């Protein structure tokens, strides 16, 4: 079996086992039995259990984020981008809540290098939200744009957790709640201070 095909097969199986067992109870031996391979093959592809877990997160996050970015890419204005992206985000939760929880549920027991690497995955998401924001607010203060992206990302994750515990709320209302917050945050973005030296004339 080609290496890339084997890798995807292992990731699909590992993802299911992480969802079913959780990170703490996940076993490389269980994955070996499911895939019909030996431990050295798993380690050759991913290096360790942590490496396998990160590979699963990267795979799912990339799929989710591409869905969100594509949903907002052709929006004519900021409000449409917020709503289209929000609708895509909460549709993902509605369609596959356990898979979403694998990526965004949070694992308080993780620490050290693994926690740092998971944080880096989240900063990639922040960068993508910042890029969309900058498209509609090109003169906004850069630091404020980054803070806005963190706030919007965090609000989406927390609202997703809340919704999973209150599934009787229609998705349309969840999207409305999120858009209200994100819109107000966007509208409050301060503009960058002008560079007063850019057009100055040298003294004679």
157-203: pLDDT as tens digits: 999 999 999 999 999 999 999 999 999 999 999 998 765 555 544 44
Q: Are 102 and 56 in contact (CB under 8 A)?
A: yes
User: Domains in the chain, ordered, with CATH?
Assistant: 1-47 (1.10.10.60), 58-187 (1.10.357.10)
Please report which confidence band the pLDDT of residue 109 belongs to, taking 50, 70 and 90 as the band edges: low
* Residue 175: both structure tokens together: 């999207």
In this predicted structure, what is the pLDDT of residue 3? 87
Condensed to tens digits (0 to 9), the pLDDT of residues 35-69 reads: 999 999 999 999 999 999 999 999 999 999 899 88
Gap between the Cα atoms of 76 and 78, Å rounded: 7
157 or 113, greater pLDDT: 157
Whose tokens are 């979403």? That residue is: 100
* Cα(72)–Cα(82) distance, integer angstroms: 7
Q: What is the pLDDT of residue 204?
A: 40
* 42 neighbors 52 (Cβ within 8 angstroms): yes
Q: Which residues does 177 contact at the CB level (< 8 Å), separation at least 6?
A: 159
What is Dmax (Cα atoms) for the chain? Answer: 81
Higher pLDDT, 11 or 199: 11
Helix (H) or strand (E) holding 61: helix 49-73
């Amino acid at each position: 079996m080609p290496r890339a095909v084997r890798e995807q097969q292992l990731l699909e199986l590992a993802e299911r086992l992480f969802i079913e067992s959780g990170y703490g109870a996940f076993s490389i031996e269980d994955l070996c039995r499911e895939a019909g391979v030996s431990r050295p093959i798993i380690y050759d592809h991913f290096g360790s259990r942590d490496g396998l877990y990160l590979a699963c997160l990267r795979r799912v996050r990339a799929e989710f984020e591409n869905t969100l970015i594509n949903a907002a890419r052709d929006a004519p204005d900021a409000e449409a981008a917020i709503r289209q992206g929000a609708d895509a985000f909460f549709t993902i939760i509605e369609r596959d809540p356990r898979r979403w929880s694998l990526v965004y549920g949070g694992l308080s027991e993780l620490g050290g290098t693994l926690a740092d690497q998971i944080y880096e995955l989240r900063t990639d998401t922040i960068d993508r939200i910042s890029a969309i924001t900058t498209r509609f607010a090109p003169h906004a203060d850069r630091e404020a744009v980054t803070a806005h992206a963190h706030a919007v990302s965090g609000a989406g994750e927390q609202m997703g957790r809340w919704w999973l515990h209150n599934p009787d709320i229609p998705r349309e209302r969840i999207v409305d709640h999120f858009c209200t917050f994100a819109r107000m945050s966007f509208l409050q973005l301060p503009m960058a201070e002008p560079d007063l030296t850019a057009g100055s004339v040298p003294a004679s």
